[in-house]
Structure 1
């Protein structure tokens, strides 16, 4: 009888143990940086995650109207959400800040005028 209880407990513990998921694999990856600072970066994994981005150096004016160099970044990333749906976010960043768009990003209401 004790053996049956111990066996049942061992089987229950084994069934409750977490199943280790195989690590995500990178199926494509690229990074190319130019000497002047421009770059192209992208990757894709076997679970549906992907990202692509470019950076371009340009001159901009600061708050004192003095020129300085900035890197303008444009890109997007895609992931699979908890419902199995792919979600894509596109973005850019420049001297005005970081700006992102996508179905899952809330949009601020427009004030009445």
Structure 2
């Protein structure tokens, strides 16, 4: 991921990681927090290599979104990411995985509110 960011000459992009892509983004946030402006993690899947102490290394503003009807992941991964300092967790009602597809209007509202911080 670092090579991609470097090759695209992106100084601190905002990363959106739905579902499986969180397997790549979360370790990157832990190892290289200075390279990402912010992250939006949707219906996360947490890599088995990550431990609770890795979450506190993430110094990137992070919005975590999950659905309350997410049968595949349940809410454990999303709630675990609340350990990221300054993270925001949003549980969408009546939403399955991925939550942004189940509740697109609510997703866009939360996305807009989160992005307003990064003018």
TM bucket normalised to smaller = under 0.3
Larger RCO: 1 or 2 (CA < 8 Å, sep 6+): 2
In terms of fraction of residues, the more helix-rich structure is 2
Q: What's the TM-score, normalizing by structure 2? A: 0.20
Q: Output the TM-score relative to the length of structure 1.
A: 0.21
Structure (1/2) with the larger strand percentage: 1
